[in-house]
Amino acid sequence: MRTSIATVCLSGSLVPKLHACAEAGFDGVEIFEPDLVTAYESPEEIRTLADRLGLSLDLYQPFRDFEGVDEATFADNLRRAETKFQLMNRLGMDLVLVCSNVATATIDSDEVSARQLRALGELGASYGVRIAFEALAWGTYIDDYRRAWRIVERADHPNVGVCLDSFHILSRGHDPSDIEKIPGEKIFYLQLADAPALDMDVLSWSRHHRLFPGEGSFDLTGFLGHVLAAGYTGPLSLEVFNDVFRQTDVRRTAAHAHRSLVWLADQVRRPDTVPAGRPLTAVSPPEGFDFVELRGSGLDEADLVLEQLGFTFRGRHRTKPVRLWSSGRARVILNDQRGGEQPTHLAAFGLEVADASAALARARELDAPPVFRQTHAGEQDLPATASPDGTQILFSDKGPDPRWLDEFSYGDPERSDIARAIDHVNVTQRWQDFDEAVLFYQSVLGLDPEPAREVAGPRGLVRSQVMRTPDGCVRLPLNVEPQGEDHRTQHVAFSSDDVVGLARTARARGLSFLPVPDNYYDDLRARFGLDDAFLAELRSLDLLYDEDGAGGFVHFYTRTLGDVFFEFVERRGPYDGYGAADAPVRLAAQRATAR
Ligand SMILES: O=C(O)c1ccc(O)c(O)c1
Ligand SMILES: [Mg+2]
């Protein structure tokens, strides 16, 4: 199916927007009227440019406050419409969006609205223009697509149909299954937008918080399924009003917008809808973390901390300045190759997947950038891509022991069992990249988003959202990076069966913990009624504790090494969280002890 996007989704002026849309792979655009009005190019020049870029001009929008009005207003509205139809002829466009009246309607009548729309259709026909009537969720009288369709049916004009917009339908909780009752050819246009679950007035929600499919919490797969079942064959078009996307790089936004449509079209599992003409390579969710890789200027300090934590030094790589530490299936690579000028940071993580080359193929189909890593003959070349935040992701075929382990020598055999595996990797995001990251991890890696939540940091509440596999073997909590800091603070959490014992041993070896304030333990006593002995033990070791009704969670953090720190977690029983209640304590402590 063809893909399209409303120019209102993007930042800047019309010409760069058209270039960005074409570059991202869209087939067409909706021209948002203010973008044309404020452009210095003539309609003919816009038409020529679009043509040269291979973009069709699919929809002119919006034409406001047309129907449900008295006769004098109606006459003036027809005059207004006629000038727009003339403009559309200059642009070479044949479809206009008319949204339901929110301002001048005084007559609440299907009969009157249908008659007025019919007259508009008749006028449009003389210009070769068709009318797509859309019920805005906040329309004065018409705020439901079912009523818009009733009126269009009654208008009974070949040039009058409906425009369906997922936001207006799903935000109001209207049942989308009635879409299937509309004949496909009367659905003149389809606009898709996702949105976060928010409890606010629908106009503000729509104008500021819409998201691209896969970035919010609407069931767009189900929605699109109904539209396709109705027989709609027009473009899949994005119409996303979002303050962040209106301010951020136009090419980057267009690129993740396009990814969202490719992914959504694939989700409905109808080969005829897939924009690329063939389904995406199917992948199952990752089955575990293979390793994490740190780079930067402070890796010697990381060696020391890993040793104090009881990891085994597994040796050096045979051709690269890279060394490996492990504990159970938790593997940490310290890479001195590049990035030595930066503080120690999380540069990459590896994921074990059923089929590494299939995982890479899917990433490429979704326009995730390939990453080429230096390898020598005989070394395993792991397929890799990069996430929007720049972290490299390497795929390896799931097996008992990764083959690349053999490339390390002069180390010790694995003797530690304090850590079982990597429990989660916390990847911070710039606030403006967060939605793009949710879409990336969902579409490329097949991770599911948990509901977003907020964590109190020293500079205010920050958004936190976990992307994970259903079974929890891969968990990626995404957190907004504190603003105004000149570095990121990411962390790698290892799971252990005995965090208390581990903390005791590590402390005896001189590990420095993130210090926890005494007040925290008084609060813990109040929250969970813990016994004095356990509380004293937690306090003496700077351990944190949480419960979620299902089980308990004991954890601690190391001090920060450059831009990264380690966490050890023990999940007692089916505890499924991340100690989110403790995050404010961590953020405050990190700030208090910052370099
Ligand atoms: O917010 C608006 O006014 C507006 C305009 C046109 C649309 O298609 C829409 O969904 C909303
Ligand atoms: Mg709309």
- What's the CA-to-centroid distance between 195 and ligand 2, angstroms? 13
Sheet containing strand 345-353, strands side by side: 384-386, 392-397, 345-353, 288-295, 330-335, 322-327, 312-317, 408-410
- What's the CA-to-centroid distance between 153 and ligand 2, angstroms? 20
- What's the CA-to-centroid distance between 272 and ligand 1, angstroms? 29
* C-alpha separations of 20 from 39, 242, 258 in Å: 16, 17, 11
CB 67 within 8 A of CB 116: yes
CATH 3.40.50.10490 at 3-273, yes or no: no
Q: Which residues are annotated as a binding site for Mg(2+)?
A: 424, 491, 567
Backbone angles phi, psi at 203, to 5 degrees: -65, -50
| Residue 207 in contact with ligand 1 by CB distance below 6 A | yes
Rounded Cα–Cα distance for residues 196 and 210 (Å) = 7
Quick one: pLDDT at residue 377? 74
Closest CA relative to residue 84, chosen from 37, 38, 118, 41:
37
| Residue 166 in contact with ligand 1 by CB distance below 6 A | no
| Residue 61 in contact with ligand 1 by CB distance below 6 A | yes
Closest CA relative to residue 557, chosen from 335, 347, 309, 342:
309
SS (H, E, C) 246-281: CCCCHHHHHHHHHHHHHHHHHHCCCHHHCCCCCCCC
Quick one: pLDDT at residue 381? 87
Rounded Cα–Cα distance for residues 210 and 239 (Å) = 8
SS (H, E, C) 96-115: EEEECCCCCCCCCCHHHHHH
Backbone angles phi, psi at 482, to 5 degrees: -60, 135
| Residue 62 in contact with ligand 1 by CB distance below 6 A | yes
Q: Which ligand is nearest to the CA of 241?
A: 1
pLDDT in tens, 281-293: 999 999 999 999 9
CA trace torsion 185, 191, 192, 198 (10° rounding):
-130
Sign of CA dihedral 174, 178, 184, 188: negative
Closest CA relative to residue 567, chosen from 426, 391, 389, 414:
426
CB 70 within 8 A of CB 16: no
Closest CA relative to residue 73, chosen from 113, 40, 35, 43:
113
Q: Which residues are annotated as a binding site?
A: 134, 165, 191, 239, 424, 491, 567
Residue 29, SS3 per DSSP = strand
pLDDT in tens, 313-365: 999 999 999 999 999 999 999 999 875 688 999 999 999 999 999 999 999 99
Ligand 1 atom closest to Cα of residue 134: 8
Quick one: pLDDT at residue 270? 67
Consecutive H or E run containing 323 = strand 322-327
Intra-chain end-to-end CA distance of the chain, in Å: 54
Angle formed at CA 494 by CA 492 and CA 495, multiple of 5 degrees: 150
Q: Where in the chain is the domain with CATH 3.10.180.10?
A: 288-592
Nearest CA to ligand 1 atom 1: 207
CB 179 within 8 A of CB 212: no
Nearest CA to ligand 1 atom 7: 62
The β-bridge relationship of strands 330-335 and 130-134 is unpaired
Q: Where in the chain is the domain with CATH 3.20.20.150?
A: 3-273
Residue 129, SS3 per DSSP = coil
| Residue 99 in contact with ligand 1 by CB distance below 6 A | yes
Rounded Cα–Cα distance for residues 477 and 458 (Å) = 19
3-state percent helix, strand, coil for the chain, nearest multiple of 5 = 35, 25, 40
pTM: 0.95
- What's the CA-to-centroid distance between 136 and ligand 1, angstroms? 7
Ligand 1 atom closest to Cα of residue 62: 6
* C-alpha separations of 319 from 392, 503, 559 in Å: 20, 35, 31
Length of the chain (residues) = 595
Residue 248, Cβ neighbours under 10 Å: how many? 17
| Residue 97 in contact with ligand 1 by CB distance below 6 A | yes
Contacting residues for 511 by C-beta, under 8 A, at least 6 apart:
305, 308, 309, 558
Q: What is the pLDDT along the chain (595 residues), one digit of tens a residue?
A: 899 999 999 999 999 999 999 999 999 999 999 999 999 999 999 999 999 999 999 999 999 999 999 999 999 999 999 999 999 999 999 999 999 999 999 999 999 999 999 999 999 999 999 999 999 999 999 999 999 999 999 999 999 999 999 999 999 999 999 999 999 999 999 999 999 999 999 999 999 999 999 999 999 999 999 999 999 999 999 999 999 999 999 999 999 999 999 999 999 876 666 655 678 999 999 999 999 999 999 899 999 999 999 999 999 999 999 999 999 999 999 999 875 688 999 999 999 999 999 999 999 999 999 998 877 777 888 999 999 999 999 999 998 888 899 999 998 988 876 778 999 999 999 999 999 999 999 999 999 999 998 887 777 778 899 999 999 999 999 999 877 666 678 999 999 999 999 999 999 999 999 999 999 999 999 999 999 999 999 999 999 999 998 899 999 999 999 999 999 999 999 999 999 889 889 988 888 887 5
CATH topology of domain 288-592: 2,3-Dihydroxybiphenyl 1,2-Dioxygenase; domain 1 (3.10.180)
